Structure 1
Amino acid sequence: MRSGICPKCRSASVHFTRNGIRRGQAFGLTVRGAWSTAQSEDFVCTSCGYFEQYFTPGGTLQKIAEKWPLIRPANRSQPGDR
Structure 2
Amino acid sequence: MTSPGQVPNPAVLARPADDGQPAIDAIAEAVAGLDDVQELPVAEHVERFEAVHAALTDALSKADHLSSGTNAHRS
Q: TM-score, normalised by structure 1?
A: 0.22
In terms of fraction of residues, the more helix-rich structure is: 2
Choose between structure 1 and 2 for higher RCO, CA contacts under 8 A separated by at least 6 residues: 2
Q: TM-score, normalised by structure 2?
A: 0.23
In terms of fraction of residues, the more strand-rich structure is: 1
